[in-house]
A and B are shown apart, each in its own frame.
Chain A
């Protein structure tokens, strides 16, 4: 299985809602990533988990809360978001970090709209 899956595909939420994005991979990868991508822009790294531990937080606001329950799953909990947080949220995974071949495998993304 060489696929990264993300659910839901689309999410519309109000500013007072709490929701979660989910990501799953079964490639045995030990690094997992959350990216945010605005229209016509490149992906921007938000978080990296390495061996289920948070290794990089790119100064993301606390209304985004990542969680890595096990080596196959990655969640992004959302609370009190702002309309400017509307974007495509991409999950990715890669082989054990620190090696020279850190090709990343991406999921299809969750299109988030905050009203």
Chain B
């Protein structure tokens, strides 16, 4: 079953612009992760934010987490054509299960 819901479903921007994707989830979590998937390929882990963290940075990525609203956002700054991909949030289940539940994903297109 899907826990995360991303919006928008699709986003098209120009190179150099910032891209913001949002994720909402339903149950309590230990952490929330963001993954990227290039077309037809495996997923690549981008960043993990723990439930007691509010913001995390990694290079051009900024992730926020609001556990009171059960939502997270992923900001990609100064986007590049190579950032074109689908982005998924994934949540675990509080209690330490190894199971991850992925959201529906946002398809990002960065136009040169």
- When C-beta atoms are compared, the residue in chain B nearest to A108 turns out to be B42
- When C-beta atoms are compared, the residue in chain B nearest to A94 turns out to be B98
Q: Is the CB of A109 within 8 A of B41?
A: yes
Which positions 40-96 of chain A face chain B at CB distance < 8 Å?
40-45, 48, 50, 55-56, 88, 90, 92, 94
Given contacts A42-B88, A56-B99, A97-B98, contact A109 B40 (CB under 8 A): yes
Given contacts A103-B33, A103-B48, contact A45 B99 (CB under 8 A): yes
26 contacts between A and B (CB under 8 A): A4-B42, A33-B98, A41-B104, A42-B102, A42-B105, A45-B101, A50-B98, A56-B98, A90-B43, A94-B98, A97-B97, A100-B30, A100-B31, A100-B50, A100-B96, A102-B92, A102-B100, A103-B45, A104-B45, A104-B100, A105-B45, A106-B43, A108-B41, A109-B40, A109-B42, A111-B40
Indicate the size class of the contact surface on chain B: 20 to 34
> Is B12 engaged at the interface, CB distance under 8 Å to the other chain?
no
A41 to B40, CA, bound (A): 11
Which A residues are closer than 8 A to B by beta carbons?
Answer: 4, 6, 31, 33, 40-45, 48, 50, 55-56, 88, 90, 92, 94, 97-109, 111
- Tally A-B pairs: CB < 8 A: 66
> Is B14 engaged at the interface, CB distance under 8 Å to the other chain?
no
- When C-beta atoms are compared, the residue in chain B nearest to A107 turns out to be B42
Q: Which residues of A contact B40 (CB under 8 A)?
A: 88, 109, 111
- When C-beta atoms are compared, the residue in chain B nearest to A95 turns out to be B98
Q: Which residues of A contact B101 (CB under 8 A)?
A: 45
A104 to B36, CA, bound (A): 12
Which B residues are closer than 8 A to A by beta carbons?
Answer: 2, 30-31, 33, 35, 40-45, 48, 50, 88, 92, 96-105, 107
A31 to B92, CA, bound (A): 14
Minimum C-beta distance from B101 to chain A (A)? 8
Minimum C-beta distance from A39 to chain B (A)? 9
Q: Which residues of B contact A101 (CB under 8 A)?
A: 31, 48
Given contacts A88-B40, A111-B40, contact A43 B102 (CB under 8 A): yes
Q: Which residues of A contact B102 (CB under 8 A)?
A: 42-44
